[in-house]
Every structure is written in structure tokens, then in C-alpha cells.
Amino acid sequence: MTRRISRTALTVMGVVVLLAAGIFYGAYRLLQKAEPFALGEHCEVKTPDGAMDIDIDQAQVAATIAAVAARRGLPERAVQIAYVTAIQESKLTNLPYGDRDSVGVFQQRPSQGWGTPEQLQDPVYATRKFFGALEKVKGYKKLPLHEAAQAVQRSADGTAYAEHEPQATILAGAFTGRVPKAVHCWYPPAEKPVASHPDTARKQLTRALGMAGVDGRGWLVASWYVAHAQKFGLREVHFGGVTWHAVSGHDGWQKDPSPTQSVKVV
């Protein structure tokens, strides 16, 4: 009798252990799936030079800067100069305020002839103005990044720009498209279904990059779309044999069973 009870108890214990393991594994998988949403809205940028986390708004600004530079035919070093400046001046954010009358990504001042407050809070316009001034700096391509930035900005302490060179190098490699699959973003799903607007997104990209550049810039374009996916309700970005999915954005780029030769968005 005692032996029979012992076997029963062991059987029950085994079942309990299996159930507990199943529950634990299920909870673990749910936590894995929930992790990106628990982390909120964010982007990761990863290149051989390093990795960094940035907000989606910062990713949109970074993508815009790279697109405007490409339209002007500027080298990656010009993009790096713009990034060290934007990180120092606004933390790569389109600010509606600043020191005295400074506004925007580069904290440009209307009173100094950069443009109106409304124009300077348009990242495309502000970036065009920044690069226009940078191109007038003699030998800027050979200057240290912080010296080139200071030549444009003429700030109180130009050495501060130098602190951001590592971040600028990572961002430039990613958003110029030199490094493939370098940008992915994630965010919680909308409470209500959001309509996808790929045509509107393309129009905005064309404004920064130009019509000719949209179909020939590969990973620059793909990264721009990922950074702007939440804004335009984009669900997927396809390119180079991989796909980024909004519903699993935290997992990065996944193998695409139907690879495309050009960037495709849905």
C-alpha cells in the first residue's frame, strides 16, 4: 500500500514539474515578445564602429540629414560634421526653442539670417542651410570634425563638438547606407488600426533626397523608411533579401522569401 502511494505521489510530482516547466517557458516566451513594447519606442543603430540606441524622432532627423547630404552629392564626412553639430546643439532633436532665438536641429538663429523660425524647424530646410554654409568652409573635408562644425556654427565653445565624433561615425555609416541592415526601430502597436501611407512617405523622402535618388540609394532609403515607419503607418520595408516588420521591429531585419532589387514598402 505504501509503495503504491509512493508511486502515485511520484507521478503527481512529475506532472506538476512538467506543468510548471510549461508555464515557465510560456511566460518566458510572452516576456520575450513583450520586451520591445516594454522598452517603448526606440531605434538601434549598429555598425562595425559600434552600436547606439536613439529615439525614433532622433532617427528621423538622422535619416533626413543623410538624405539631404546625398541629394547634394556630399561625402560621408560632411554627414559626420552635421551629426556632431546636431548632437551637441539639440541632441539630434527638432527643438522649437533654444538660446535666445535659436531653434531647430542645429539651433540656427533667425536673427542671424538663417531663415524664419518656421523654416528652421523644418529639418530638411535647416539641413540644407547647414550644408550650404559648410560647403563654403575652405578645406572642410580635411578639417577635424569639431573645427569644421565650429566654422559653421561659431559657437561659444567649439571643442564640445569633438565629444560626439564616435556617435557621428556610427550614425553616418548607418544612415548613409554604407552599412547594410544597420537601423531598426520598434514601437507598441497603435490602439486603433493605422492606415499605411507609402505614397506620402515617398513624397517626403523625395523632398529630402530628390526624385533621382529615391530609386538608387538602397540602404539609405531603406533606413529612412524604417525611421519613418511609425509616422506613416508603414508595416514592412523590403530590400536586399531581408525585411523589417513593424510588428517585430525589435528583432531587426529578417530573411525575405521574396527578395527585391529595389526598396519596397507596404
Q: What is the domain partition of the chain in residue ranges? A: 41-266
CA 211/CA 177 separation, integer angstroms = 17
Average pLDDT over residues 245-263: 93
| Mean pLDDT of the 201-208 span | 96
Cβ(247)–Cβ(235) below 8 Å: yes
Tell me, rounded to whole angstroms, the distance of Cα 29 from its chain centroid. 27
Give the side-chain half-sphere CA count within 13 A for 143: 19
pLDDT at 39 > cutoff 70: no
Query: Model's pTM, two decimal places?
Result: 0.85
Higher pLDDT, 190 or 16: 190
pLDDT above 80 for 29: no
Beta-carbon contacts of residue 252 (< 8 Å; ≥ 6 apart): 44, 181, 184, 244
Q: How confident is the model at residue 17 (pLDDT cuts 50, 70, 90)?
A: very low
Angle between helices 56-71 and 198-209 (to 10 degrees): 50
Starting at the earlier edge strand, list the strands of the sheet with 242-245. Answer: 254-255, 242-245, 236-239, 264-265
* 109 three-class SS: coil
